[in-house]
Amino acid sequence: MKNKNLIYIALILGLGLAAYLLNTSEYSITRTDRRDFAIADTSQVVKIVLTSKAPEVAVLDRVNESSWTVNEIYKARKSGVFYLLKTLQRMEIAHPVPLTMRDNVLGNLAVRGIKVQVTLSNGDEKTFYVGGENQDLTATFMMLQGATDPYGIHIPGFQGYLSSRFYTQEYLWRDKNVMNYDNREITSVKMQYHGVNKKQESFEIHKSESGYELKGFNTDEVYAHNSQKLSTYLASFRKLYSESFVSGNLNTDSLLLVKPMFDLKVVNQKEDETHIKVFYKRAAPGTIVDGDITMRDPERMYALVNGEDWMILQLNTFEKVMKELSYLKE
């Protein structure tokens, strides 16, 4: 009986020792490598290159402390860069990938993974691959270049996955600003409505030495204007953003064959100019407004900005600059 008890004790001690060694070994790996994926000081990041298997490439370059470009052409969206840098700074290993999942995770990284290359101001680089999410969507699988093991990566305290912050489509990184004018610097506004019942509501505003003049569109007729309304209107051209850039299969050639809702052109004293052509957007089938089915989206419009970029505008954002001559007149 005594020998049997000794065997049980030895067995329990042996299992406990094995568990301890296993746990401390696994813990030492995660503790040592936990921050290997992170960039401690993101103020030193000067370039981020994100590449998909498509292939699609988004190259983000730092211009100064608060400004970035995408693909060396366009101004990058500040919020997108902000969240990406925060992710690079705070992400860490949540857990190793179980052996039963390892092959699937590696396969996913090989086929669908996003390659992320981060360059610091001192020339140092870090490259890793971003894959899919774990089953409970609390971590994203990633692997450092040159490593053999992927890990589940998370941000402590953040509920969700991180892959959505590593996108490669250029248009998603671009700044969505349409207009951002200081009203004190605006020198002219031209609003031309094209609808049969609204043409007469077109107008022009011009700045002179004595103040602003309100005129009919393409005429010399000057109207007395409501100073408060005109001042409020000019102040409405600050921070006007689109909902998104148009992606997909929009037939812009056919859209240009129809008359736009309106043309709006704004110029400031630096001779910066923005010209937008705004078109009706087709509503989703079955859209009902005031009890009737409508063919026009009641909330969104298409816009061609400066003859180059197609954007989707929200009516509730832009209706403040869609004023009419009769509204501004005294």
Give per-residue pLDDT as tens, 269-321.
Answer: 999 999 999 999 988 887 877 767 777 899 999 999 999 999 999 999 999 99
φ and ψ at residue 119, rounded to 5 degrees: -115, 135
Phi, psi dihedrals of residue 259, rounded to the nearest 5°: -70, 140
Chain segment 158-206, per-residue pLDDT in tens: 988 899 999 999 999 999 999 999 999 999 999 999 998 899 999 999 9
Query: Are 85 and 102 found together in one domain?
Result: yes
- What letter does residue 157 receive in the DSSP assignment? T
The reply to whether 66 falls in a domain is: yes
This prediction's pTM: 0.79
The conformation of residue 226, written as its DSSP 8-state character, comes to -
Q: Are residues 183 and 319 in the same domain?
A: yes
Residue 159: inside a domain: yes
182 and 147 together in one domain: no
pLDDT higher than threshold 50 for residue 8? no
Q: Is residue 14 part of a domain?
A: no
Tokens linked to 242: 């689109």
What total of structural domains would you count in the chain? 2
